[in-house]
Structures are given as structure tokens and as C-alpha cells.
Amino acid sequence: MSEQYPVKSPEAREQSARDLATLVYLIQAISLFTALPFFIGLIINYVKGDDVRGTLAESHFRWQIRTFWFSILWFVVGWLTVWIFVGFVILGISWIWVIYRVIRGWLVLADGRPAY
């Protein structure tokens, strides 16, 4: 006998997707002070990506994934150039950029709009 899972209503599916996106924004905000949660948020984005497909949160997941990968890129560039002191500027600007992305994304999600 196979067990069937209850099908979520469109409203419940949408709310669940928005809750996941909100959780990842929270994780990204925490990661501004310690890097490990940033990776946890990315894992959630990739693992739950199919669950949010077709919802408002889909664009937010894409926004969050891009925030992660671009911040990693600029972190690496910053550390590679830190010996010529321009790296400190790159790291600082990158950190501010992540703050902007988290706040903007979270506010737009709270307004019920897509990230883009």
C-alpha cells in the first residue's frame, strides 16, 4: 500500500515558499557576522528550489543564490589583493553590497513582489 502525501493548496504552497525565502534572508543576515550560515542558506536554496518553482519565492531564491556566488567571488578577489591594500576596499564594498542585497530582497519579499 503506497502512502500519498496531501497536496498543498496554491495558497499554502505560496506561503511555504515565502517562509523558506524569509528563512534564507535571515540566515544571510546572520552570515554577515560569521560565514558558515551563508553556506547553509545556499544549500536550502538548491535543495528546495523545485518546491518554490512557479511561486513568488522563485525569483528570491535566484536573488539569494546570486548574492552568495557574487559575494564569494568578491571575497576571493579581495583576499587575493589584500597585500596591495586595495583588497580591504573590495572586501568592505562587498560586505556593504551583501547588506544591501539582503535588506532589499527581504523588504521586496515582505511587499509580495518578485526580487527582480
Mean pLDDT (the chain, rounded)? 93
Termini Cα distance of the chain: 45
Predicted confidence (pLDDT) at residue 5 exceeds the cutoff of 90: no
Asked if 41 and 76 count as a contact pair (C-beta separation under 8 A), the reply is: no
pLDDT value of residue 1 = 47
Closest C-alpha among 60, 115, 67 to residue 94: 67
Domain residue limits, the chain: 12-110
Torsion angle (degrees, nearest 10) of CA 64, 10, 112, 67: 0
Residues 74-113: tens digit of each pLDDT: 999 999 999 999 999 999 999 999 999 999 999 999 999 9
- Packed helices 57-80 and 10-30: angle between N→C axes, nearest 10 degrees: 20
Q: Is the pTM of this model over 0.85?
A: yes
For 67, list phi and psi in degrees, rounded to 5. -60, -45
pLDDT value of residue 10 = 86
Q: What's the whole-number mean pLDDT along residues 46-69?
A: 97
Q: What's the whole-number mean pLDDT along residues 44-69?
A: 97
CA–CA separation, 41 and 100 (whole Å): 17
Q: What's the whole-number mean pLDDT along residues 39-46?
A: 97
Predicted confidence (pLDDT) at residue 2 exceeds the cutoff of 60: no
